[in-house]
A = this chain, B = another copy of it.
Amino acid sequence: MEEYAVIFNQYLNHKGLKLTKPRRCILDTVFSMHTHFNAEELYDKIRGKTSSISLATVYRTIPLLLDAGLVQRALRSEGRERYEHIFGHPKHIHWLCRNCGDLMETDLNTLYPILEKQAQDLKFKPESIELNVKGLCWKCIPIENEKQSDEK
């Protein structure tokens, strides 16, 4: 069994729940995708497989995956929650271009010491961190500049 499945199984047992076939299928699909996804995209991906699972079950399973620490919320977009699996992934910063929608990621580790210091001062026990920067990517900066000079 894959390590993520072991973790999910342990989590479920701990909660008195079981790693059923639908849950297993959703779990595997989540770890087969290496991009951010929303509930519907996850559902669509599963539909292609032999076993078909209802959208409601997908929605029901996501909170379990979050709670188990295997998945985290990513940048919400177009009115939908987006997620990404995080097992084995280093935490990262999201850089979203407001013009073309491109998403870049960079390391968050360098910020840890400062954040931990602040957490200590607050006596806060962090469990998840979300750092999103919105702006313009290198491709869109010149485009925006043109617009501005047009307006003049």
A-to-B contact residues, CB < 8 Å: 76, 93, 95, 97-98, 104, 106, 110-111, 114-115, 118-119, 121-138, 141
Contact = CB atoms under 8 A, between A and B. Distances in A.
Given A111-B114, A130-B133, 14 more contacts: A93-B115, A93-B118, A95-B119, A95-B124, A106-B118, A106-B122, A123-B141, A124-B137, A127-B136, A129-B132, A130-B131, A130-B132, A130-B134, A131-B132
Contacts of A106: 118, 121-122
How many copies of this chain does the complex contain?
2
Contacts of A133: 115, 119, 124, 126, 128-130
Nearest to A138: B123
Contacts of A135: 119, 124-128
Nearest to A139: B123
Given A111-B111, A111-B114, A128 B134 contact: yes
A104 B124 contact: yes
A131 B104 CA distance: 16
A87 B132 CA distance: 20
Given A106-B118, A130-B131, A131-B131, A124 B111 contact: no
